[in-house]
Amino acid sequence: MSQPTFSATSQTTITPHNQQPLVTRDYPTEAELDATIAEGFEAQKAWAKVPLEERIRIGWKFIDVFKSLAQSTEPDLALELTLQMGRPISQIKAELDGFLDRAAYMLSIAHEALADVPLTDTDKPGFRRFIKRIPLGVVLVIAPWNYPYLTSINSVLPAVISGNAVLLKPSPQTPLTAERFASALVSAGVPPDVVRVVHLSPELTRYAVENQNVRFTSSTGSAGEGKKVERQRSTRRETTRTDPQFGNGIQASSEVTFLRNAGTSGKNFKRVCQRVYNMVGN
């Protein structure tokens, strides 16, 4: 497959069929990336206060919006994806259908997956003990070029419905997929700063992973690239653990900053959701 071309400030996707440039996206500066992350950090606070029932309702509306988008001819998502990564257009529908199926499944179990966990066996008179799932904040999702819709839905939708903000970093081979995904979420009612697409160089990706306001990183891709992200995340984990603004009870938060590969199954909502959440006993 043809590879994207890069400059210090931008990336250009090359169509495998004809080796012609398809789309170019500029990289942000470090200051601009910091601002985007900070905006997501602030927007997440309000989003987390939206009742779960409303967030789930928006999720179902997102499915309707994306379904209409997938059936449209302007843009033509199937042709668009074929031009980006070269898969025969006859095979694209299966990925889009799978994307919607996974979304519907994850929404169908959201109440159960996000409910408080009662600890009635240890209750005492006058006490009610339970485990409450609390949003982490900003989640960075690094998506691959192959099956970009099918893999990114596994991390993006659980994170958003759980009350987190998402930075979605697509492969430079398939940048438009993330833009279509995010646009559909916003059209359904997700605040724009809660889900943002960021086109990043390897250096800027590392910079984002190490940003203190990014509380969780999910990456689907090669083992080599995953190990790089994990090392980068581990470098700043100790800083997260000792951050004074979180107090003594937040060590569990630092324990979920490690890398998770969320691209293996369409029915991993509970696992992904629990990783995106900090389990705090009250």
Phi, psi of 109 (to 5 degrees): -110, 10
Residues in CB range of 72: below 8 A, 6 or more apart: none
Task: List the domain boundaries for the chain.
Answer: 51-117+131-281
State the Cα–Cα distance between residues 33 and 251, nearest whole angstrom: 27
Tally of CB atoms within 10 A around 77: 22
Q: Which CATH number fits domain 51-117+131-281: 3.40.605.10, 3.40.50.970, 1.10.3720.10, 1.10.260.40?
A: 3.40.605.10
Task: Return per-residue pLDDT of the chain as tens, 282 residues.
Answer: 668 899 999 999 999 999 999 999 999 999 999 999 999 999 999 999 999 999 999 999 999 999 999 999 889 999 999 999 999 999 999 999 999 999 999 999 999 999 999 888 887 888 888 889 999 999 999 999 999 999 999 999 999 999 999 999 999 999 999 999 999 999 999 999 999 999 999 999 999 999 999 999 998 866 666 666 666 665 654 333 323 332 332 233 333 333 333 343 333 444 444 444 443 333
Q: What angle do CA 61, 262, 221 make, to 5 degrees?
A: 115
State the Cα–Cα distance between residues 131 and 280, nearest whole angstrom: 6
The structure's pTM equals 0.81
State the Cα–Cα distance between residues 264 and 247, nearest whole angstrom: 35
State the Cα–Cα distance between residues 220 and 200, nearest whole angstrom: 16
3-state secondary structure of 241: helix
